[in-house]
């Protein structure tokens, strides 16, 4: 058995790092060794380009709002909301997904939240016909949960690295049902399909990765 000094959990000998804090594991009883600091320098592209994208998103948002205010008498519509929302989502996609070194599971969750928020924003400011909460949000969480599931199964069931992100996505799958109960969403079949998919995913996790999944749940929730 190996032990994570930070999280105080014991894991299998085959695991090289803690699934929670991502620190390297040592054998039980070993004195913890402070990891050597990685002095790798980021390239100019890695340091500058995300800042350029962030500045461009803010610039487009501010200019759009300013022009919208100046032309309000001629065109009294909040079109700047769409421009600002699109610019911010573009920054999220490029700066925090494509160029970021964040864990793949974290990127998927960010995209789920960002894309859902953009869809709801567009829907609300275009008359709120509820297509965002009835169709878009349920299928976004289903698609992204499926993506995490495919990644896990294609990488020899690495539940230790993706278990937290998988659980988060499963909880998000029940969000459409909550929206339906609160009468925000009106399409029962799409919301129910999202919850059903979450239950089927949990069943598949227990059937195809029963041993590994049990270990991770015990470590995560201290059963």
Q: How far apart are the first and last CA of the chain?
A: 18
How confident is the model over 22-57, as pLDDT tens digits?
A: 667 665 545 445 555 444 555 556 678 888 889 999
Helix H or strand E encompassing 2:
strand 2-4
**What does the pLDDT read at residue 10?**
65
The dihedral formed by the CA atoms of 27, 24, 144 and 148, expressed in degrees to the nearest 10: -40
Q: Where are the alpha helices (DSSP H) in 23-158?
A: 44-70, 79-93, 104-124, 131, 137-154
How confident is the model over 146-169, as pLDDT tens digits?
A: 998 888 777 765 566 777 888 899
Residue 163 token pair: 């278990």
Q: How many whole angstroms separate alpha carbon 184 and alpha carbon 39?
A: 50
What is the domain partition of the chain in residue ranges?
Answer: 1-33, 130-223
């Amino acid at each position: 058995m190996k032990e994570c000094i930070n999280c105080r959990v014991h894991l299998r000998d085959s695991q090289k790092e803690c699934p929670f804090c991502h620190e390297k594991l040592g054998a039980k009883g070993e004195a913890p060794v402070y990891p050597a600091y990685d002095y790798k320098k980021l390239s100019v592209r890695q340091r500058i380009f995300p800042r350029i994208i962030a500045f461009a998103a803010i610039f487009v948002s501010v200019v759009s709002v300013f022009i919208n205010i100046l032309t309000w008498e001629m065109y009294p519509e909040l079109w700047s909301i769409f421009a600002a929302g699109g610019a911010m989502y573009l920054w999220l996609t490029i700066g925090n997904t494509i160029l970021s070194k964040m864990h793949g599971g974290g990127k998927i969750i960010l995209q789920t939240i960002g894309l859902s928020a953009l869809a709801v924003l567009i829907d609300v400011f275009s008359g709120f016909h509820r297509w965002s909460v009835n169709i878009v949000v349920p299928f976004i969480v289903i698609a992204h949960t499926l993506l995490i599931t495919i990644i896990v199964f294609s990488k020899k069931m690495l539940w230790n690295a993706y278990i937290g992100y998988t659980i988060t996505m499963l909880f998000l799958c029940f969000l459409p049902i909550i929206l339906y109960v609160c009468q925000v969403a009106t399409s029962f079949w799409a919301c129910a399909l999202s919850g059903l998919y979450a239950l089927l995913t949990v069943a598949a996790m227990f059937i195809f990765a029963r041993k590994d999944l049990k270990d991770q749940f015990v470590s995560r929730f201290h059963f």
